[in-house]
């Protein structure tokens, strides 16, 4: 194993602010600006911007004034702009839907305006990618990847497929701008072998989401669920992963204190996994 020196953290938008009851993935509405200051205080490098499951015109991502505000907050707080995620496709099917494809085109333009490097596509629920429907996804994913490539972005796919299935699908689509976001919690919930998955996917992993889940598929405090973070970070060390780690974690009673705990846990297991 090689020593890793460039540990960077991101936070999915809304996870540093307490959400309404029962809402995990949540855009913090009129409080969204405050999260950039909280992130800076925690030495988090970036907020992973989200486009919501249902279009929200008030989300600053969709307006020039809003993206200018985001860039100003990023600069003021010494942060960066790295990744953005399209949750819209979870409730709106991507294959065979020109309107959804056009939404992706517009969103990539918005991400390009921010200067983001990675575009996260969670292919679940209405847009779930399977071995059986892969053919229907090939054209729209190639169109999205072509568009992202123009802005020097990588498209990071998140799916329920195991690693060997995902490698097969990526080989079929065959686009250099397509890669994988590896989500520790979702992978364990799907019953996958997390370290084995990571080693098989290897350099196809360009982004990592950190979360923990229990046997009931609930997002729980890191270290209290099914994910073995020691073996996870050993596997990430073996493949030489040098990208950031984005927390897509539950908030707990105090989101900032929970984030502090999460950062400490990942630093510990990261150091263990990447030690010589």
Least confident range from 1-5, 13-17, 51-55: namely 1-5
Give the Cα separation of 209 and 140 in Å (integer).
24
Give the Cα separation of 251 and 204 in Å (integer).
29
Is the confidence at residue 136, as pLDDT, over 50? Answer: yes
Quote the pTM value: 0.95
Using a 10 angstrom Cβ sphere, with 0-12 exposed, 13-18 middle and 19 or more buried, the burial of residue 4 is middle
Q: Which residue, chain included where needed, has tokens 């100003």? A: 72
Q: Is 118 helix (H, G, I), strand (E, B) or coil?
A: strand
For residue 3, the model assigns a pLDDT of 42
Q: What is the mean pLDDT of residues 129-140?
A: 96
Is the confidence at residue 273, as pLDDT, over 90? Answer: no
State residue 245 phi and psi, 5-degree precision: -120, 120
CATH architecture of 9-274: Alpha-Beta Barrel (3.20)
Structure tokens at 153: 């972005």
Task: Please state at what angle helix 98-114 crosses helix 134-150, rounded to 10 degrees.
Answer: 30
pLDDT in tens, 66-123: 999 999 999 999 999 999 999 999 999 999 999 999 999 999 999 999 999 999 999 9
Which residue ranges make up each domain of the chain? 9-274
Element (H, E) at 198: helix 194-201
pLDDT in tens, 138-192: 999 999 999 999 999 999 999 999 999 999 999 999 999 999 999 999 999 999 9
């Amino acid at each position: 194993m090689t020593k890793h020196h460039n540990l960077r953290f991101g936070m999915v938008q809304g996870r540093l602010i307490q959400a309404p009851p029962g809402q995990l993935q949540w855009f913090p509405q009129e409080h969204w600006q405050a999260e950039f200051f909280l992130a800076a205080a925690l030495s988090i490098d970036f907020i992973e911007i989200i486009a919501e499951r249902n279009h929200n015109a008030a989300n600053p991502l969709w307006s020039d004034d809003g993206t200018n505000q985001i860039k100003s907050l990023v600069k003021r707080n010494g942060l960066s702009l790295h990744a953005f995620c399209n949750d819209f496709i979870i409730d709106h099917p991507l294959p065979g839907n020109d309107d959804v494809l056009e939404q992706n085109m517009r969103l990539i333009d918005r991400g390009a305006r921010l200067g983001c490097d990675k575009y996260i596509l969670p292919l679940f629920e209405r847009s779930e990618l399977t071995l059986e429907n892969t053919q229907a996804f090939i054209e729209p994913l190639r169109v999205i990847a072509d568009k992202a490539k123009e802005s020097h972005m990588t498209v990071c796919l998140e799916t329920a497929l195991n690693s060997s299935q995902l490698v097969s699908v990526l080989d079929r689509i065959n686009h250099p701008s397509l890669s994988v976001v590896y989500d520790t919690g979702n992978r364990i919930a799907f019953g996958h072998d997390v370290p084995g998955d990571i080693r098989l996917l290897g350099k196809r992993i360009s982004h990592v989401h950190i979360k923990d889940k229990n046997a009931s598929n609930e997002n729980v405090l890191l270290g209290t669920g099914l994910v073995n973070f020691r073996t996870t970070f050993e596997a990430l060390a073996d493949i030489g992963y040098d990208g950031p780690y984005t927390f897509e974690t539950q908030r707990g009673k105090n989101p900032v204190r929970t984030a502090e705990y999460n950062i400490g846990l990942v630093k510990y297991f990261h150091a263990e996994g990447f030690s010589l």
